[in-house]
Amino acid sequence: MDPQAKLGFIGTGVMGEPMCRNLARKSGASVVAFDARGEPLERLAADGVRTAASPAEVGAAADIVFLCLPGGPQVREVCLGTGGLVGRLRRGQILVDMSTSPPALARELAQACRGRDAQFADAPVARTREAAQSGTLSIMVGGDASVLERLRPYLACMGSDITHCGPAGAGQVVKLVNNLVVCQNVAVLAGALALGTRAGIDGALLLDTLSKGSADSFALRNHGLKSLLPGHYPERAFSVEYMLKDLGYALDLADDLGLKLETAEQARTLYRRAAERGLGSLYFPVVRRVIEA
């Protein structure tokens, strides 16, 4: 890791803020960041992160630019819109999209970066906000292996598991599959809790017993015990709206590849009902309320 490196970070939201903080604290490099909201940047200043006035200012100052944005439209605007980052890239710069975006957009960005003699990697993340805070995210990387090796020390500041999934876009594919599985697991757990408790079984006993058998899972031990069981569905977490966005990307990809994923379509129907009931900004396990209703 080069302590003289200049790093940029665009998008300091629910996940991006702790990721940027870990990057600044652990890398020893200078970090400049931009977000549309000032509050996270004010907090990050205590960790030595300098505030930029625009994405273009981040790109001008940094050798490696990390993005952590809400989705594809925001990534496209920041990178390919009028005055976007890609058109300003210098030879040898690296653009790293840690958002969850469509794989086709990742491939488009990789090609555009090559046209500027710059490099690109998609590196979306999985696990919880707590994992973002502790620097134990799972990071799925698409791009050239040589680019990953240059990025690895910085990604290790934010994640404990870094996997090279293949060429540009492959990281996004794996992330979408991850969320496809998680959203269905959580919906099934919500239904299981609704059924068990309505039949008179204590919810804590039910989940504890399931965790000792073949029904155990990461979703049960995290989303189940920490959210579904206590009915804790905060805002500023991975929301129903975000899950619907990722489900949409995954199902669009399935459609492009000639697959019909019926269970995923059913899950999307449940999450859409949650959004229609005004629950879209809440942590996505709130789908339990739809099932119980």
Query: pLDDT tens, 146-158?
Result: 999 999 999 999 9
- pLDDT of 4 reads 80
6, 26, 175, 245: which is the annotated catalytic residue? 175
pLDDT for 257-271, tens place per residue? 999 999 999 999 999
Q: For residue 82, how many other CB atoms are within 10 A of its CB?
A: 6
Pairing of the two strands 6-10 and 30-34: parallel
C-alpha radius of gyration, the chain, whole number: 20
DSSP letters for 63-104: SEEEE--SSHHHHHHHHHSTT-SGGGPPTT-EEEE-S---HH
- pLDDT of 126 reads 96
Structure-token match 């958002």, residue found: 99
- pLDDT of 120 reads 98
pLDDT for 212-239, tens place per residue? 999 999 999 999 999 999 999 999 899 9
Residue type, 130: E
Confidence at 252, pLDDT banded by 50, 70, 90: very high
Distances (CA, A) of 119 to 6, 23, 57: 16, 20, 19
- pLDDT of 236 reads 87
Residue 1 has pLDDT above 80, yes or no: no
- pLDDT of 2 reads 75
Q: For residue 206, how many other CB atoms are within 10 A of its CB?
A: 19
Q: How far apart are CA 205 and CA 58, in angstroms?
A: 51
Mean pLDDT of the chain: 97
CATH 3.40.50.720 maps onto the chain at 6-166
- pLDDT of 180 reads 97
Pair 98, 67: CB distance under 8 Å: yes
SS (H, E, C) 184-216: HHHHHHHHHHHHHHHCCCCHHHHHHHHCCCCCC
- pLDDT of 147 reads 97
Task: Report the top-level CATH class of 173-292.
Answer: mainly alpha
Q: How far apart are CA 41 and CA 265, in angstroms?
A: 38
Phi then psi for residue 3, to 5 deg, are: -70, -15
In 3D space, the residue among 249, 264, 290 whose CA is nearest the CA of residue 70 turns out to be: 249
Residue 35's contacts (CB-CB under 8 Å, 6 or more residues apart) are 10, 11, 12, 13, 16, 41
pLDDT for 26-84, tens place per residue? 999 999 999 999 999 999 999 999 999 999 999 999 999 999 999 999 999 999 999 99
CATH 1.10.1040.10 maps onto the chain at 173-292
Residue 207 has pLDDT above 90, yes or no: yes
Tell me whether residue 120 is exposed, middle or buried, using C-beta atoms within 10 angstroms of its C-beta: 0 to 12, 13 to 18, 19 or more: buried
pLDDT for 146-195, tens place per residue? 999 999 999 999 999 999 999 999 999 999 999 999 999 999 999 999 99
Examine the residue annotation and report whether 226 is marked as an active-site residue of this protein: no
Confidence at 99, pLDDT banded by 50, 70, 90: very high
Task: Report the top-level CATH class of 6-166.
Answer: alpha beta
- pLDDT of 82 reads 92
Residue 3 has pLDDT above 90, yes or no: no
